[in-house]
Amino acid sequence: MIQEIDRLLNDYVAWLKDKTILQQIDNWVEITTPYLDRHNDYVQIYAKKSNGGFILTDDGYTIDDLEQSGCKLESRRRQDLLKMTLNGFGVQLHDKELCG
């Protein structure tokens, strides 16, 4: 059974690699994933080398989309919920960008 699961994982990695598109934009790499957001658009993130690692960002897309949909994040309660959720994933909020 372990061999079957291992084969499935390898197939998934091959699918993900095949369906992901990378594009250089200045000193950033735009990563277009095969995953869809709630608008059926491909999820895009951006990566840049920094201090021996990488910075990942959504370029503000997620917060802008929430706000444009009427989900204002101005109240203290919503800010606390947002911070708690982001902390659970190791993500930080810089201005309106989700970064990790």
pLDDT in tens, 15-52: 999 999 999 999 999 999 999 999 999 999 999 999 99
Q: Which residue has the higher pLDDT, 100 or 16?
A: 16
Residue range 73-80: average pLDDT? 94
d(CA 9, CA 57) in angstroms, rounded, equals: 26
In Å, how far are 10, 12, 17, 21, 36 from 5, measured between CA atoms?
A: 9, 10, 18, 26, 25
Strand partners of residue 31: 22, 45
